[in-house]
Amino acid sequence: MEDIEFASIRLNGEIKPISDKGYSKNPIADYDADGDMEFMVKFSRKEISRLLEKGDDVPVTITGQMKSSKALFGETRVTVK
Ligand SMILES: [Ca+2]
Q: What is the pLDDT of residues 32-50, one digit of tens each?
A: 999 988 888 889 999 999 9
Q: What proportion of the chain, given as a percentage, has pLDDT over 70? A: 94
User: Mean pLDDT, to the nearest integer, of 5-19?
Assistant: 93
**DSSP string over 42-61:** ---HHHHHHHSPPEEEEEEE
Q: How many CB atoms neighbour CB 73 within 10 A?
A: 8
State residue 65's pLDDT score: 95
Q: Which amino acid is at 23?
A: Y
User: Taking a C-beta distance cutoff of 8 angstroms, is the pair 71, 4 a contact?
Assistant: no
**Exposure pattern of 15-29 as b/e (b: 16+ CB <10 Å)?**
bebeeeeeebeeeee
* C-alpha 33, offset from chain centre: 20
Tell me, in angstroms, the distance from the centre of ligand 1 to residue 8's CA: 22
User: Mean pLDDT, to the nearest integer, of 6-23?
Assistant: 88
Tell me, in angstroms, the distance from the centre of ligand 1 to residue 59's CA: 24
User: Does the pLDDT of residue 1 top 60, yes or no?
Assistant: no
Q: Where are the domains of the chain?
A: 4-80
Tell me, in angstroms, the distance from the centre of ligand 1 to residue 27's CA: 10
Q: What is the mean pLDDT of the chain?
A: 89
